[in-house]
Structure 1
Amino acid sequence: MKTLKISALVLALAAFTFGAKAQTKSSSTPANGPRLSISADAGIPTGALSDKYNWNLGGSAQIDLPIASQLFVTVNAGYNNIFGKSITVGSTTVNVQDIHLLPAKAGLKFFPVNNFYVQGEAGAGFLLNKKDLGFDKSTAFIYAPQVGVLLPLNASSNLDLGVRYEGSTSYTNGGGNKINFVGLRAAYSFNL
């Protein structure tokens, strides 16, 4: 029992020491000016969207503006092409029209520990081919919670890797036709 108590005390002390070190290092997260990132984005549709679409590919640009020591306001705009499947209806094979989407979002990025962040964004998704898809609306509300990590490349640039869930409200008046996917963002990020 005594060995268990000593082990627990040593483990707690080590956790406290590493936690304090991580908190000290988190101040090295660049917060002295804006940061720009240019990314390649990819994703896999979820929900009803996955019935007709395989995956998406695109890119985005994001600016991070520091407002506190570990907290940034983000503004993000990009393009996503969501690739349609070939589906069989009866004896006929139909190619589903790709979705061309321009998302524009703003949000907050917070670094709870060194180089690891949580981010939440919301905005609008603009369809470029609404008529081809038979949708009623060309714009919908979108939201995107994300987690990620900054991997330092040098003193002023990082590799920004993030995983997000991006969801939307309906692009049709009767509901349905939401564009939801799990996405990956791999960006080159640099201080301005």
Structure 2
Amino acid sequence: MPQQHRAHATRHAILTAAAEEFDRAGYAATPLSAILRRSGVTKGAFYFHFPSKEALAAALVHAQEAVWPELYQRWVDRGLDPLRTLVGIIDDLVRAVATDTVVRAGLRLSSESRVVDNELPSPYPLWERVLFEMFDQAAGAGLLREGVSPAVAARVLNAALVGARIISCSLNRCTDVVQRTREVWPLVLPGIAAEDWLADWTGEWRHGVSPVQVQ
């Protein structure tokens, strides 16, 4: 057990150090020596856990991917309407981006997949599909404006959210990504949501009720 614990601690140290370095400089500009120096791990110990820098980057991408199903299910289980569920999911997502270096680095590496490994999945189609499913459910519940296409709404919102994240992460390591994302909702939702739903949501929003507080 102590040996297993040490191995787990070493792997965690490598992943944490790699996330910090990749988040700071990107994949191409991060030498393996910087990861080893930050983690305090020898090259031999590194190669015991990862065959290459590419494999380490892939592990970080998969680590951030593992966060989203639990986050998604947690909001679905609340039983809110699809639009409030969507806002809540996105709110938690960007909070994770702002506070979790592994999540932030994994997303950055996903967008650099051509440099890292062409087989790494892009996060953009996945989230557009999630948005489409939520908007499609909202349409079925009569929560969308007449004539709004769930597919178009998903594409537009995805572009706005990705843009907010990329700009925030480029300018200040994502420290204001929550604020930038919240600024999207009052501008985008009026073109998507039905009037009755929008009036209720706007009242909650103006009175400072966050998606997390809406039960």
Q: Is TM-score (shorter-chain normalized) higher than 0.5? A: no
Question: Of Structure 1 and Structure 2, which has the larger fraction of its residues in helix?
Answer: 2
Question: Of Structure 1 and Structure 2, which has the larger fraction of its residues in strand?
Answer: 1
TM-score of the superposed pair, with normalisation by structure 1: 0.28
Larger Cα-atom Rg: 1
TM-score of the superposed pair, with normalisation by structure 2: 0.26
